[in-house]
Amino acid sequence: MVKKKTCVFISGQGSNLKNLISRSRDNNFPIKISLIISNNKKARGLFYAKKYNIPYVLINTKFNNYENKILLNLRKHKISFICLAGYMKILSKFLIKNYKKKIINIHPSLLPKFKGLNTFSRIIKSKEIKAGCTVHFVNEKLDSGSKIIQKIFFVNSNYDEKILKLKTQKLEYKAYPEAIIRIFRYN
């Protein structure tokens, strides 16, 4: 199997990144993480880039031409697939157009509900009985691309944001690899 050279974009802890690195070491998993991009030099996820000897690039998104720098690095490393894993920056139409149907994201809600930020507090305020995560293709609209997979759990009325986050992350670690396998199974 020829693995797809993949870049993971991160901004924070990198727990989904760690999970994807672990899964990508399996010979039957369809991607190889060849680059990590972060817009946060303090992202704890960069530890995994260093630990597993994966090239990484820090991108200062305050500069106007930062997406050109991203594209140059993606081309330099021959990246053909992108996974967003807690990347807290909206991608421009320019970047999405260059990687159409080649960028996926994981979101901590059952989309189309609770797009954007502060998901867990919004779930609690709405007294939802179900929560979960969604892996979807990235398009020009925030958290609106076609769904690849959703994982669901039932919400207990005594759950707080911390419990919701932990339960959601547990599902994310299953959903993200399953979605990647599903995408490449038919390609």
Cα separation, 31 vs 181, whole angstroms: 9
Q: Is residue 129 classed as helix, strand or coil in its secondary structure? A: coil
DSSP string, 24-80: HTSTTSSEEEEEEEES-TT-TTHHHHHHTT--EEE--TTSTTHHHHHHHHHHHTT--
pLDDT classification of 141: cutoffs 50, 70, 90: very high
Give the Cβ contact number of residue 113 at 10 Å: 17
Mean pLDDT in residue range 103-124: 96
Beta bridge partner(s), residue 137: 104
Return the percentage of the chain with pLDDT > 90, whole number. Answer: 88
Annotation marks residue 136 as catalytic: no
Q: Is residue 187 over pLDDT 60?
A: no
pLDDT at 151: 98
Collect all residues with Cβ–Cβ distance below 8 Å to 93 and sequence separation of at least 6: 140
Collect all residues with Cβ–Cβ distance below 8 Å to 116 and sequence separation of at least 6: 142, 143
Structure confidence by residue, pLDDT tens digits, 12-69? 999 999 999 999 999 999 999 999 999 999 999 999 999 999 999 999 888 888 999 9
Mean pLDDT in residue range 166-183: 97
The catalytically annotated residue of 4, 18, 23, 107 is: 107
Look over the chain and give the mean of its residue pLDDT values, rounded to a whole number: 94
Global confidence as pTM: 0.95
Return the percentage of the chain with pLDDT > 70, whole number. Answer: 99
122, 143 contact by CB (below 8 A): no
Q: Which residue has the tokens 């967003």?
A: 84
Cα separation, 56 vs 61, whole angstroms: 15
pLDDT at 63: 82
